[in-house]
Structure 1
């Protein structure tokens, strides 16, 4: 597998890396954006905008609209702070914001846990196939479903 090295962030380091990556992209790091990112980062499984909105509504003591959360999550996907799991209509924090590459997601059909691997041969071939078909700015979204080690036991 052709993987490339990148720094995985966690905790406060992840929040700071995300803040810097968003600022580098010319966007603002607002309190609401930070709250959404922190909530997303708490999840080890893909989370929906509704999950995040519900949890933020509870923690803030006032309603947070899912549409607002969707807009922020879409911004995070565009700026590489989060990845969208298409098949689940859910989101996962990118633990290496600022590092641009295509992830291949492995999603457990049983527990829902999602992890990712990098294989630039696979995603590079998909990019080339898209370009050969006349597409530009090709962004492969690859999801593999199956059972994680724990659920397979």
Structure 2
């Protein structure tokens, strides 16, 4: 499998890396943005904006508007802090903020678990095809559905 290496972060190191990456992109790291990122990072499966808003609202004791969460998640996708899982209309935290590359997502149809793998041969070929068709700034989004090892057993 072709790919590259990057540092995976977790816990406070992930929060710090996300904060640095967002502020380096010229954006502010606000309290609500940090809360949304922390809530997203807590999930091992893709989470919807509504899931995040509901969980934050329960934790804060007051409603958090899903539209606000959507705007923050869109910002996180633009700045490479999160990835959008299109087929699930949900989001997954990027555990290596600041490292921009294309991911291929493997999504379990049974348990919903999503993992990613890097294969520049596949995503590079898609990017080249898009460029050859006249598109600029091509960003492949590849999702494969099936059963994870645990569910297939």
TM-score by length of 1: 0.99
- Counterpart of 1:53 in structure 2 is 53
- Counterpart of 1:70 in structure 2 is 70
- Counterpart of 1:121 in structure 2 is 121
Task: Give the 4+ runs in structure 1 shifted more than 3 A.
Answer: none
| Count of equivalent residues | 153
- 2:119 and 2:148 map into 1 onto residues whose CA distance is 19
- Counterpart of 1:81 in structure 2 is 81
Q: Secondary structure at the match of 1:29?
A: coil
For residues 4-153 of structure 1, what are the structure 2 equivalents within 5 Å?
4-153=4-153
- Any idea what the Cα deviations from partners look like across 1:82-121, whole Å, max 9, x if unmatched? 0000000000000000000000000000000000000001
- 1:74 and 1:39 map into 2 onto residues whose CA distance is 15
- Any idea what the Cα deviations from partners look like across 1:17-62, whole Å, max 9, x if unmatched? 0000000100000000000000000000000000000000000111
Gaps of 5+ in 2: none
- 2:87 and 2:152 map into 1 onto residues whose CA distance is 21
1:3 Cα deviation after fit: 1.4
- 1:129 and 1:51 map into 2 onto residues whose CA distance is 36
Q: Secondary structure at the match of 2:87?
A: helix
Note the aligned Cα RMSD (angstroms): 0.3
Q: Secondary structure at the match of 1:107?
A: strand
Q: Secondary structure at the match of 2:92?
A: strand
1:15 Cα deviation after fit: 0.4
- 1:105 and 1:32 map into 2 onto residues whose CA distance is 27
Q: Secondary structure at the match of 1:144?
A: strand
TM-score by length of 2: 0.99
